[in-house]
Structure formats: structure tokens, C-alpha cells
Structure 1
């Protein structure tokens, strides 16, 4: 048993010795590699050596015999695990409190300017201080505020206070000039306007230099509310001051995207004018100077809009503000007679239409701005027509304009809506002079009213057709509405013509007889049109023709049979019957002829 186990023990001993030797060898190799890495790391990078010269190499020597050791790869080096660095939390944004300073500054502007107004007005009413001292105190305060604002602007964090101080000083100086001109009358109005314009322009120029729309607003907005207090109401001289302020504020905005300053400019010019127009309306006085001021405000609004549009991003607001700026010019009928109001509205309409027609050549006008200005021009045309003509002429004129618009600008959506609006107003004027009850009882008609009704009836029927063709000629509902309008227009035309020619019962009966016959003639025209167009397009005209035939038959048996008398009843039934017979025969003949042509063409194609 001992002899069998002895070789086994020897083998285990030799293996153990081999593993120990291998371990020592690997430890030595690992140490050498570490030392080599350290040397290479600390050693500077040598300059590149010159290219070696090729020399003949001797044959490789045979390697010296080495003792056999098994080759094993070096053990891997593991880096200790480290947790990822924590992401630092985002710093919480500090809540801005700058709005508090701005709010306090605006409140300071309002309170200070109210104090200036009290100094200039209430102190004068109470007899406190002499006028010279009041005016001088206002001027000194204005100069001190401007100087303080200039000084604050050069200090860190002083911009808000500087803007508020300068705005208060400029507004105080402007109101001081207004008081000197209107209350104390120390200077002539033209001189006062020039001085005020210089002061306002200087303040707004400073707003441009500081690139601050806020400063411009703080100059304009307080003056809109406080200047009428200084003048004790809206006077023509105050309107002149506000128009001067609006005019001088335009150059300082060139190249700036300041839509709110433009809104303040429009308000400064338009609001006092609208209040003055209402006052003149209740006073019942004509004021041509006020109308002229409204015209100047409209010019400022349109010119400012065209100049500033290229740099304004909110062009919809710009277009609406321009429309608001011409509103006083469209409302001058409150203060002047109809002729002046019509001429001014026509001038506004012409100017806006010129801008609309040149929209592609003017920067910023194309698109929504063009649509807004076109709608404003349409309103101006409506005001001009209704102010310049009475109802008997206004109706035909509006309907004629509607027809021209529907034919000439059928592809423009604003033109179509404008045409529809003019048709509505023209139809209302037509109904005022040709009401529905005039179709049931004979009523006397004057020559002027009769001619107006005849013209407006024809134009109303034509407008109904061209308007449907401009909107959607394939829409059946639109044609139904147009047919109803045409039927009413034709009936009022024939009845009015009968009353103008014959008068009394005879003219009334003749008019209704002609109306029924014309209804059937219109139906025959529709059937003839349907027979000449492709089969797939016949549904609308055939439906319209059948509707007219049904309406004519209903009128024949429900109205004409019981209302018409004598020969008129006989004639209308005979003529209507003959036309219906001819319609049936002719329509069937046209259809058969078309079918034969189709067969012949198909045969020729097959052959």
C-alpha cells in the first residue's frame, strides 16, 4: 500500500513546486511592468530621430536554449469601484423684484403730475400765489426732474428712476406751456404750439437715445388724461396741442418696434377728437375747424402706419390702430353738414383704396394689413354714400358698387364680403321705398321714388346673381336665396312700373300680371340654359326652373285668380299656360337633339 502511494505524493510535490515558481515569476514580471510604466511616464518625449540608413542585416541568430516554463497571460488589473459623482442641484432662479420699482416709479409719475395740475389749475382758482410764481414753479420743477433723471441714468441701477423722472419733467413742462397758452394767454397759440412741440420732441428724442419705449409712454399717456384738466375741457386749442404731440412723436420711432407708443400716439390724437365731436353733436353747431383737425389726425394715422409698418412685428395691431386713427374723420357728420361729411369720408376711402391697390409695392402692407385697410375703406365708402345721398339714391348707388366689386374682384375675400355688405344695405334701402305691403295693395308712387325703385330692383336682381357666382356657383342653397331675391325684385319692378304708367287698380293689376309672366319666362330661360350644358351640371338650373314654375303656379292660383280682375286675369292665365306649353315642348326637343348628337359622335368615334 505504501509502495502505491509514494509515486502519487512525489507528483503532488513537484506540481506544488512548479506553481510556486510560476507565482514568483509572475510577481517579478508584474513589478517590472509597473517600473517600466513609471519610467515611460516620467521620461520626456524624445525628438523624432532621423530616418535610419538601410544596411544589410545579418541572418538572425538562433535563440539560445531556454528552460521550459509555461507561458501565462498577466493577471488583469482591476480599478476599485467608485460611485458616480452626484449632480449638483440647479440653482433656484431669484425672483425678480424689478417690477416693484417700476410700479412705484409709475405711481410717482402720476402723483407728481397731478400735483402739477393742482398747482396750475386749483391754485389759480383759489388765488394761491401769483400766476408768475405758479408757472415758474412748474418750470423749475420740470427742469429739476429732467436734470435728476439725467444724473440717475449714469448711476448703476438708476435707469428706472431716470426714466420716471425725465418723463415727469417733460410732461410737467408740456402742461406748463398749455397753461401759459390757454389759461393765462401770455403767448399766442401758434407760439405755444411750437414751444410745446419742441418740449415733447426733446423728451421723445431722449426716449429714442435711451432706447426706452417706457419713457415715451410715460410722456404721452399722462398728457392724454391730464391735459384736458388743465384746459378745463376739450377745446380746439387742446386738440392742436395733442396733434402736435402726436406728430413730433413719429420721427423718434423710426426703425423701432414700439407698437405701444404708436397706440398712445393714435389715442392722443383720436380720443380728444371723438369727445369733441360728441360735444358738437349735442350742441348742434357746425365746426369746420374741428373737421379739419379730424382730417389731420387721419393723415397722421395713415402716414405713421405706412412708415412704421416695415419694422413692426405685430402688423395686425398696427392695421387696426390705423383704422382707429381715421375713425374721427369718418364721424365728422356729428359736427358738420352732410356734404362735408361725405367729402371727407370719400377722401379717406380714396386714400385707403390707393394704399390697398399699391399694397404689393409698399413694404409690410400686403396680407392681413391690406385686408384690414380694405375693410376700412369699404366702411368709408358706405358712410360717404349714405351721407351724400338720401335713401332713394343711396340704395341704387350701393347696389351698383356691389355689382362692380363682385365682378371685378371676385377672387378677393374682402371684396366679396364688402359686396355682400353693400347688397344688404342696398336691399334695406330698397325695402324702405318698396315695402312688401306695396305688393298687396295699390299705393301711389312719386316719380322720384318710382324711378329709384325701378333702378334698384334691376340692380338688386343682377347683384344677387353676380354675388352667387363670385362666392360659389355650384352651391344650391345660394341659388335658392338668389332666386328669392330676384323674384321679389322683379315683382316690385313690374308693380312699380304699372303704378307709374297707369296708376290705380289698373296699373297694380298690370304689374302683377307682368310679374307672373316674367317668373315663368325666367324659369324658361333656366330650362334653356340647362339644356345647353353637360348633363352632370344641370341639377342646379333645373331645380331653379322648377322652383320658379312652382312659385308662378302658386301665385296664379292663390293671388292672381282672386285679386286680378277682368282682362288681366284672362291674359295672365293664357300667356302663362302658353309659355309653359312651349317650355315643355322646347325642352324635350332640345334634349332629344342633344341625345342624337351624342349617338352620332359615338358612332363616328367607333368607326
Structure 2
């Protein structure tokens, strides 16, 4: 008779639980009805005071196995249920575990390198045992990380174990290829790429950037130890690792992983380029590796830009990945170096101009690409031409960029930079003392000076015009550059035509006259402007007149000889007289016209 009573007890408990649940639902509906009535403005229904709810009956001692869930606990109206699983605050000591994990990764990988390299040098164990032990250790570490990731609190340890296993497998493949030579480099690179891709897939599966960093960063230090220095084979392994780590980052905003990817590819190349600069050996393969690194940097940057919030940093990292191409002149001949730099300049300029059509290429990113294009163009010009040709080319480039890119800040700064470098080159071949003493010059040097003088004056005016500046000081600087360029042109032309005697004197005579003519042109320009716009050209004209008069009495009077001295004083004096009379007449005429226009406007208004 015990069994029927047990069934009855279970039924009674089920009915009690259902009754209390229905009572709770009824109470909630009444509360909802009261709230809706209050919001609509209608008087809330009066509810009779509810009798205190009796506590639910205790559950039976043995809950029947056929019921899938426990009874829903009862809570009085207005009482909030307690939090079932409150999240615990992160402990401040969490960084200790991460630090220990990073230390464990580093120490373990150093042990693997010792196993593969130093043991081989000391003759300990057979190569098969060393390589096999590395492979078994790599597989065990990855398996342990996979298992630990499914355990509570095991994520940090799982990431460290898996990263150590993947890096161990990659080092093992490098050793098989570089130390023991069991496979040819092409097979070794393919196998290493497959190992890295499969291992780094865990970073994407577990959604952790740290795993990728713990694989890439140690390779920068440990891989050269395995290959016994920076070799072309090592560069190939690092480029393969950099390339295959891209799919891991797709759809993830992991800027540090991109930085590690660029560092893995670029740092060995810089060391190799530095070694070539010291040893002075040509290596076209190294130049090709630099080109591959640049393509990886540009490609990964364009692919990842739409999905990152750090677009400026992504663009800067792209520029860092391209930088080795601009230094390949130490490893190959200048023609190839110039062509590679010109290709970078053209490619980055195309991205800067058409960047608004590409996803993720913001104006700030376009500025970075434009600046990189300008630097690459500067490198290409200096690599392709010697100084006497590079100077005029850079100044011509400055004029073109200033005029064509006058609405773009990056283009204006690029034009300013080209002007500075071109002016420096011009001064190095035509210093100031050549304008004070007669100096013989060759035809090639003279032609270069003539061309660069014209382009220097043009670039100074074009750059300042592109900035649309009204600062008097800047225009004074530009005027000084123009005056120097005019003097350099006339003195060089006179020396080439009539020698370092009469030609030198004649060139200075023409230079002084040109200064006064330029001042007259500025005063004429000022006379045709409104009163508010006259200050800058008038100031520049007065400064130019003062400089011309000073040159007359301080240099021409004591240096020029014979007819040159007479001509320059007479011509300059007549021009100054004409300037004074003409400028006063133009100003009076303009003032009268302004007055008449004002009177006409007042009359029409009245």
C-alpha cells in the first residue's frame, strides 16, 4: 500500500506547485492592469488587500525522475528573485598568470632551439630523435592547449600551450630545412606555411589575438638562431609566416597582430640590408624579398582597413612594411633601385588619389599614402640622377606638385619638401661665394645652374601660392629666394658667355637691374589692388628696393669696373624715378575712381 500513497503525494505536490504558479501569474496580470490604467489616466481599479501568501509546501523528499525540471520557486509580488550566477569581479592578480604564461612560452621555445641547434653542434642524440622529439612536443602542447581551453579558467594556459606548440612546430620545420637539409627550401617553405596556417587557425577559432602574438613575436629572435644568422632562407620563412597569418585576422580588429606581422617580415630585411651596406655586395634576391614584403604590407593593409578602427595606425604600419624597398640601393645597382622606388611612388600615389573609392581608405589614410609616395619619389630621383640633374628634377617636381595639388595639404607639404631638397642640391653646386668672386664653370655645370635657378624661383612662388598665405614674412623669404635665383642665373649666364671677367661684371649689373624691375612690378601690382590688399606687395617691393640700393653702394660700386658701374647706376636711378612718379599717379587715379564709385553708390541709395 506504500506505492499508491507515494503516487498520491507526488500528485499533491504537483498540484500545489501549479496552484502557486497560477497565483503568481494572476498577481502579475493584476499589477500590469494597474500600471496600464495609470498610464492612460483612468482610475486604477481598487484591489482588495490580498491575503498573505502562504509559503509553498515543501517538495517531496524524492523528486520523481520522470519530471524534467524542478518546480519554479515562488516569490511574493514586488520581490525580485536573487541573482543566480553573479559575475565575479576580475582579480587584480590576473596579470600574474599571463606574465607566467609568456615566460613559459619563451623558456620552452628556447629549450626547443637548444635541442635542435646546440644538441646538434655537440653531437647529442641523433638528428631523427631531435626532430622527432620537437614534433611530438609540438603536438602534445597543442593537444594539451585544446583540452585545457574547455576547462573552467583554463583559457590563459590554453593560449600559452597552443602558441608554444605552433611555434615549436614551425621551428622544427626550419631546422629540418636549414640545419639538416632533409627537404629542399621550396618544400620546407610550403610545409612551414601549412603548419603556421593550421596552428594559427586556433587564434581565430578561440577569438584571441594573444595566441597569434605569442607565435609571431618569438620567431623574430629565435628563428635567426636556428638558421645561424640572417640568411635569404630565413627571410623566406619569415615572409611565409607573415603572409599565412593574414586569414587569421580577417574580420578582427587586431592592430597588434598586424604590427607583429610587419615586424616579422621587415626586421630581418633591415638587418640584411645593413649587412649588404657594410659588405658592399649586390644581391638581387634580397631586393626581390623587399618587394614581396612591400606587397604583403600593402595587400594586408588594404584588406584589413575596412574592418579596423585604427586606420591611421594601419596605414603607418603599411608604410613601415614598404620602407625596405626604398633602401634596396645598398643591395642592387642604382637603376633597379630607382625603378623600384618609382614603382612604389606611382602605386602609393594611385592609392592616395583613388582612395575615396576604396573601403576604409579615409582622408587621413590617403595623407599617409601621399606622404609615402612623395618620399619614394624623392628616393627614386636621387637614385636615378646625380646631383646636378637631381636638383632641377626635384625643383620641377615641386612646381608640378604645388600647382596640381594646391587643394591637398599633403601635396603642398610634399612640394615644400621637394623645394627644400632641390634648393640644398642647388646650393651645394652653386654656393653663395660663387656670386661674390669670378669662378670658372663647365658647360654642364653652368646649364644645370641656369635651369635650377629658374626652377628654384618658380617653385618658391608656386609653393607659397599653393598655401594661399598672406604672411608678409613668408613672402619676404620667397622674395629672397627669387632674388638669389635671379642673381645666380645672370652671373652664371654672364660667366658662360663672356668669361669670368667681363661676364661676371655684366651678370651682376643685369642682376641689380632685374631686382629693381621686380620691385617695379610689385609696386605696379600693388597699385591695382584695393587698400586692404596692398600691404604685402608694397612691403616686398620696398624690401627689394632697399636690397637693390644696398647692393649698388656696397657691392657694385666697389666691384664693378668701367662701363658696367656707370650703366647700372644710371639704369637703376631712372627706373626708381619712373617707379616713384608712376606709382604716385596710379594711386591717385585709383583713389579718385574709388571716391567716384562711393559717391555714385550714395546717390543711388538716396
TM range (shorter): 0.7 to 0.9
Q: In structure 2, how many angstroms separate the alpha carbons of the residues matched to 1:193 and 1:41?
A: 82
Larger Rg: 1
User: Which of 295, 299, 305 does residue 295 from structure 2 map onto?
Assistant: 299
2:233 aligned with 1:237:
yes
Residues 456 and 42 of structure 1, relative CA distance in 2, 3 Å threshold = closer
Number of the residue aligned with 1:361: 357
Residues 347-387 of structure 1: CA deviation (Å, up to 9, x unaligned): 11111111111121112211221212211111111111111
Give the CA deviation at 1:536. 2.1
Contact 1:164–1:215 under 8 Å retained in 2 = yes
User: Which of 262, 265, 270 does residue 261 from structure 2 map onto?
Assistant: 265
Number of the residue aligned with 1:27: none
Residues 81-110 of structure 1: CA deviation (Å, up to 9, x unaligned): xxxxxxxxx999563332222211111111
Count of residue pairs brought into register by the alignment = 524
Residues 522 and 155 of structure 1, relative CA distance in 2, 3 Å threshold = same
Contact 1:447–1:500 under 8 Å retained in 2 = yes
Residues 373-415 of structure 1: CA deviation (Å, up to 9, x unaligned): 2111111111111111111111111111111122122222222
2:441 aligned with 1:445:
yes
Number of the residue aligned with 2:375: 379
Structure 2: stretches of 5+ with no match in the other structure: 1-47, 53-85
1:113-512 equivalences under 5 Å are 113-512=109-508
- Of stretches 367-376 and 487-496 in structure 1, the one that deviates more from structure 2 is 367-376
Number of the residue aligned with 1:25: none
2:531 aligned with 1:532:
no
1:17-36 equivalences under 5 Å are none
- Of stretches 403-412 and 476-485 in structure 1, the one that deviates more from structure 2 is 403-412
Give the CA deviation at 1:535. 2.2
Residues 440-495 of structure 1: CA deviation (Å, up to 9, x unaligned): 11111111111111111111111111222222432111111111111111111111
Number of the residue aligned with 1:56: none
Residues 518 and 156 of structure 1, relative CA distance in 2, 3 Å threshold = same
What RMSD, in angstroms, separates the aligned Cα atoms of the two structures? 1.9
Q: In structure 2, how many angstroms separate the alpha carbons of the residues matched to 1:221 and 1:597?
A: 76
Q: In structure 1, how many angstroms separate the alpha carbons of the residues matched to 2:208 and 2:331?
A: 39
- Of stretches 583-592 and 307-316 in structure 1, the one that deviates more from structure 2 is 583-592
Q: In structure 2, how many angstroms separate the alpha carbons of the residues matched to 1:330 and 1:588?
A: 57
Q: Secondary structure at the match of 2:437?
A: coil
Number of the residue aligned with 2:24: none
Q: In structure 1, how many angstroms separate the alpha carbons of the residues matched to 2:51 and 2:223?
A: 87
Structure 1: stretches of 5+ with no match in the other structure: 1-39, 45-89
Residues 7-33 of structure 1: CA deviation (Å, up to 9, x unaligned): xxxxxxxxxxxxxxxxxxxxxxxxxxx
Give the CA deviation at 1:602. 4.8
Give the CA deviation at 1:554. 0.5
Moved over 6 A (4+): none
User: Which of 546, 553, 561 does residue 550 from structure 1 map onto?
Assistant: 546
Contact 1:203–1:219 under 8 Å retained in 2 = no
- Of stretches 526-535 and 187-196 in structure 1, the one that deviates more from structure 2 is 526-535
1:14-53 equivalences under 5 Å are 41=49
Give the CA deviation at 1:216. 0.7
Q: In structure 1, how many angstroms separate the alpha carbons of the residues matched to 2:209 and 2:411?
A: 37
Q: Secondary structure at the match of 1:504?
A: coil
Give the CA deviation at 1:497. 0.6
Give the CA deviation at 1:421. 1.1
Number of the residue aligned with 2:588: 592
Residues 107-146 of structure 1: CA deviation (Å, up to 9, x unaligned): 1111111011001100111011111111111111111111
TM-score (norm 1): 0.84
Residues 149 and 578 of structure 1, relative CA distance in 2, 3 Å threshold = same
Q: Secondary structure at the match of 2:501?
A: helix
